Amino acid sequence: MSVRTRFSRAIGVFSLLLACAAGNVLAATPSVLRPWPAKQAAPAFTAPDTGGKQWRLDGLRGKVVVLNFWASWCSPCVEEIPALDAMASDRAGQIVVLGVNYMEASWTVENFAQAHPARFPLLLDKSGELFKRWTTGVMPTTILIGRDGTPRWRMIGPLEAGNRAFAAALDKLLAEPAPINLNENKYK
């Protein structure tokens, strides 16, 4: 095992212990799908992927977004990667799946991606602020966002392939029409 890999794992374990000691992160089981709180607006969302591209939630309006918060040291997070990857592949063109990594270095995420290939972008939440604003402090958490940019559902805990409640919520969002862009001049 290389020094870099050992260092990466040590940082991951230290981060987990620190976060758990602070009461910020809990591993979830079993999974629970809940509606997004009605009076809670969508927090701002901008994050870079491992290649440096900036992703903004408002830039994805018109698309259904699956926003997943995860970490390489979180076993349930790692176990749900195949389900998210299958969803990204099976529904390509219909949805955008984004994996948001919690407070790990970009090279750690890149090494993880080599060992666990995914067909969706892996974004970096280096400060943990996105995790804090979007989740209840439980990892993994997956947010379903409608075409209008409004969060609709929050899956607290690991997403398992074939989860009927999650699939039904996703299908319902996909059945909704895309919002009309009133700023768009179609007579140009």
pLDDT in tens, 64-120: 999 999 999 999 999 999 999 999 999 999 999 999 999 999 999 999 999 999 999
Note the pLDDT of residue 4: 59
Tell whether the model's pLDDT for residue 185 goes beyond 70: no
Our CA dihedral for 50, 94, 159, 42, rounded to 10 degrees, sits at 70
CB atoms within 10 A of CB 14: 11
* Strand pairing category for 122-125 and 95-102: parallel
Instruction: Give residue 49's identity as a one-letter amino acid code.
Output: D
Mean pLDDT within 160-171: 95
CA 8 to chain centre: 21
Mean pLDDT within 17-38: 69
**Least confident stretch, 2-6, 90-94, 183-187:** 183-187
In the chain, where the domains are located: 3-175
CB atoms within 10 A of CB 143: 22
Q: How far apart are CA 96 and CA 88, in angstroms?
A: 7
Q: How far apart are CA 119 and CA 185, in angstroms?
A: 34
Helix-, strand-, coil-residue percentages of the chain, each rounded to 5: 35, 25, 40
Q: How far apart are CA 59 and CA 62, in angstroms?
A: 9
**Least confident stretch, 10-14, 80-84, 179-183:** 10-14
Q: Give the mean pLDDT of the chain.
A: 87
Task: Give the E-state strand segments of the chain in sequence order.
Answer: 26-27, 32-35, 46-48, 54-56, 64-70, 95-102, 122-125, 138-139, 141-145, 151-156
Q: Which fold has domain 3-175?
A: Glutaredoxin (3.40.30)
